[in-house]
Amino acid sequence: MTTVLVTGASGMIGSRLVRELAARGHDVRASVRTADRAATLGDLATLAVIADLDDPAAVDRAVAGCDQVVLIAANSERQAQQELTVIDAAERHGVAYLIKLSVGGPAADAPLALARDHYRSEQRLQAAGVPATVVRPGFVMQNLLQFAAWIQPDGTWRLPFGDGAMAMVDAVDVAAALAVLVGSGRPTADQVWTGAESLTMADAAQQLSGATGRPITYADGDAEAFYEHYVADGHEPRYARDITVLYDQIVRAGWVAPVAPDLEQVLGRAPRTFAQFAAEHAAEFAATPSSPE
Ligand SMILES: NC(=O)c1ccc[n+]([C@@H]2O[C@H](COP(=O)([O-])OP(=O)(O)OC[C@H]3O[C@@H](n4cnc5c(N)ncnc54)[C@H](OP(=O)(O)O)[C@@H]3O)[C@@H](O)[C@H]2O)c1
């Protein structure tokens, strides 16, 4: 049986992946930051191992004895160092296969700090020589849930995407495809995982209107107003600036519109559609707005 460590196991993708892997019969170590976070795993809480990624000794203990590692870390100023800590431990312990969740466009001079951090981590992974696959999901549909409360009482939904289209991918598919990679156990070329259709936010709002029965109309928003609102929602300024640039410059310019075939090839089926996502999350988007713009 393959023993696989999943970091970021209480997060959006990690929590779904832990469930997929457990269902497929893998021996899963679900790495969470603190003991109380194990409860986020629900009935799978017994799979939790406690490892703050800022604590190299704890990471070393979590990695020791694993055949595989799925490296998922939260975007923050500490992300690159946290990922280096995991990669170093994987190298030390002779991990047979590491799958790293990354982003599109990593580079030393990338406009987004998070893309520079991922680049640093990918460089270290290559140098470590641990057999690996780097996975680059596109814009994840579930990102939109954090903006559901921004929809105004009259249905106006102001975000700075312009009319840039996105080949959005469902986190359910990202987790399912990561589980397929774990099952194969073999490194592949870099994976670019998108949905099968490219939608603008006007298209997405229209589909959410249909799913919720609530008129939702996308309106192009100002970048600085978005940044202020996002920081007010509790996000770190550096991260909020990255997300602002991502939406206002990268998405707006159409850079995340292209559909890639990799996800469908790994899953052996078509990726989930935005219509499916909208139907499943209709209640969240139909809710009465709580925060005035
Ligand atoms: N969202 C997208 O559209 C998208 C697209 C491409 C790539 N990505 C990449 O996906 C990754 C994020 O995945 P996600 O969305 O699943 O993340 P997420 O929901 O933000 O979850 C991050 C996880 O990291 C954990 N964490 C934070 N600090 C930690 C620490 N010091 N020690 C241990 N664990 C810690 C969090 O635990 P707590 O629950 O304790 O906070 C949480 O489980 C990022 O690297 C991002 O660049 C995202």
pLDDT number for residue 1: 83
Show Cβ contacts of residue 18 under 8 Å, excluding neighbours closer than 6 positions: 6, 9, 28, 30, 41, 44, 47
The Cα–Cα gap between 5 and 76 comes to 21
Structure tokens at 122: 């990918």
Work out which ligand 1 atom sits closest to the CA atom of 74: 22
Domain containing 276 — which CATH number? 3.90.25.10
Q: Is residue 105 part of a domain?
A: yes
**Which of 32, 61, 99 should be mutated for ligand 1, with most atoms under 8 A from CB?**
32
Residues 161 and 96 in one domain: no
CA distances from 102 to 80, 120, 126, 228, 258 (A): 11, 11, 14, 26, 18
pLDDT reading at 46 higher than 50: yes
> Tens digit of pLDDT for each residue in 114-130?
999 999 999 999 999 99
Q: Is residue 186 part of a domain?
A: no
Whether the CB of 54 sits within 6 Å of ligand 1: yes
The Cα–Cα gap between 278 and 210 comes to 9
pLDDT number for residue 288: 63
Mean pLDDT of 181-198: 97
Mean pLDDT of 7-12: 98
pLDDT reading at 293 higher than 70: no
Q: Is residue 245 part of a domain?
A: yes
Mean pLDDT of 191-196: 98
pLDDT number for residue 289: 54
Bridge partners for 30 per DSSP? 6, 48
Residues 125 and 145 in one domain: no
Residues 150 and 130 in one domain: no
pLDDT reading at 213 higher than 70: yes
Mean pLDDT of 189-199: 98
Structural domain containing residue 153: 141-166+196-257+272-286
Show Cβ contacts of residue 250 under 8 Å, excluding neighbours closer than 6 positions: 105, 111, 112, 256
pTM for this one? 0.97
Question: Are residues 142 and 171 in contact, defined by beta-carbon separation less than 8 angstroms?
Answer: yes
Residues 10 and 81 in one domain: yes
Give first-to-last CA distance, the chain, whole Å.
Answer: 51
Q: Is residue 239 part of a domain?
A: yes
Residues 216 and 155 in one domain: yes
Domain containing 95 — which CATH number? 3.40.50.720
Residues 129 and 160 in one domain: no
Mean pLDDT of 61-68: 98
Residues 91 and 160 in one domain: no
Give me ligand 1 centre to Cα 172, in Å.
Answer: 15
> What are the DSSP calls for 4-30, one per residue?
EEESSTTSHHHHHHHHHHHHTT-EEEE
pLDDT number for residue 287: 81
Residues 13 and 68 in one domain: yes
Work out which ligand 1 atom sits closest to the CA atom of 140: 3
> Tens digit of pLDDT for each residue in 71-80?
999 999 999 9
Residues 113 and 203 in one domain: no
Number of structural domains found in the chain: 2
> Tens digit of pLDDT for each residue in 217-229?
999 999 999 999 9
